[in-house]
Structure 1
């Protein structure tokens, strides 16, 4: 078997040299990890935005726009919440959910797109929700590795359990490499797992490479890789907070509204509302057509708790586009704008104290 000595992940080589021009015909921006990070960026948005798209093609394309924004701006978690603005009913006869349960449809497509292409066939049975997803633009995230690229970490799927002559049990994995990879733990078939291979592991003609099954957060926390986003559903706006996967929840949350303060007040140092680069888990929440106020109205638990204004749920209530020219800004547009306008907060946290 090949030793992968020539399969190191390519650096940020723009194709130019001292004797020739830079080749701009091919993508050249490759994510380069620095040091490990434990802080995360999350976004939350309602699945009801899918209900506002008319055709299956438009609904799938909308999910693709959201996934692309998350990939470009290194979002670690996506929360799809029910804001009570879309009628939920059983799926259609073929299982298609975009018209029946837009929250699940968005969750389903986002999860599919985040999954590395070489794993999708094993992890996702044929489904009507995903019929058009294969035509969406690629996310091309750092864990969407080509077979000739080397990385100390990889996403894999369990192929079958094994047992050596010495009685050592393990699992054979498909990591998207030409060589087999084995981990010394038993996993159910078709289980997705993050594998740490170390530096230039080598397989022989009789034995596969040996890896280590690690947490999906390990590439980010240990080495600083952006390793895609997780997706979860929340039954309400309040559940976005109460079901947070992090100890202590989100320490900084931003609600977005045209009735909020200009976003510049939280991103520019020196302002009273500036968000200092000391947060651990940052959450940006966007509303649907009717805004976050409608999501609060539909949330009986928050109303019972005495919450009367949506802005009271957040550390900051911000307007992403002050003096907007259009009467409305669509959620998928607000996502791109919001992530771009708050990028300085993330960069300050990445490279700050």
Structure 2
């Protein structure tokens, strides 16, 4: 597998040379500073590519070209937004960046309630607490009808939890949920997120699926023509948030998405942690079913709780069998090599490492500190090496 590292550009707090020292070969990045309202030019892409290559690395994966709300909403604004997306995709592919990860989550991207949750080891982890999210949605944001989206017992627990939070803690919770995490499309204040949610009033899962299908019918042919591979990222967490539909959450969703435009260019990012944070998802079974369409992998894991809460586990210690998943991915690579595919290697990266050692006291992007990801990548390399030695 191709060992990669997410990097957020020249302003990233972890420099490229540290990614190389950690054992990465490829870089996963995007032109985050450019508005989604216009396409990325060849000159801009080549400049970023040259910056990566000057550090002895290669730009392996684009994560992500943002998919703006106009596309998810459909309607009059979708046409122009899709054309912008197609232009950026084509320019990336012509510059040799052939793997493009993207997501289709409405309004909020990946979401956590706590960015510094203390683990038994004293490491700090990212956590999604269902009760605290409900407390925010129902009693702070006061979204109309929000209480009907949750079990009454959870709403009662949320109300009690909120009573134990002071104003500073409530503001911190709000910022964690809506102010935007690294790589997300937008950052919101309270009034802004109410407005953004309202744009989707009345939208069903079927409506959002139809808009995703329309998007795929436009972009997959462009990728296919240029030899690029798309890799849709699962919803994180894979449940409805703020009453909004999410349609990339379980095996049935992936089956429909990959079948809507049935071409190898229409593929999947296997995010073990995102899929694994839903109790009824068997990530190994999902990986086995869709192995031929896995174009990118996020190798992290989670520990889940009965109420839907979860915390980022160490890379090898969550609910999924990472050894079995890596064995399957390596087997898929072997199958692709046997078929003569030049793109047989599956790029992967560690994700959402714990805050450990002196990173705890440094400014970091949540989930993207140096030492926790270095530890995760080292663990993954160890498993891959052991599988290779065993001849599996």
Normalization by structure 2: what TM-score? 0.26
Higher relative contact order (CA closer than 8 Å, sequence separation 6+): 1
Write 1 or 2 for the structure with the bigger share of helix.
2
Compare CA radii of gyration and give the structure with the larger one.
1
Name the structure with the higher strand share: 1
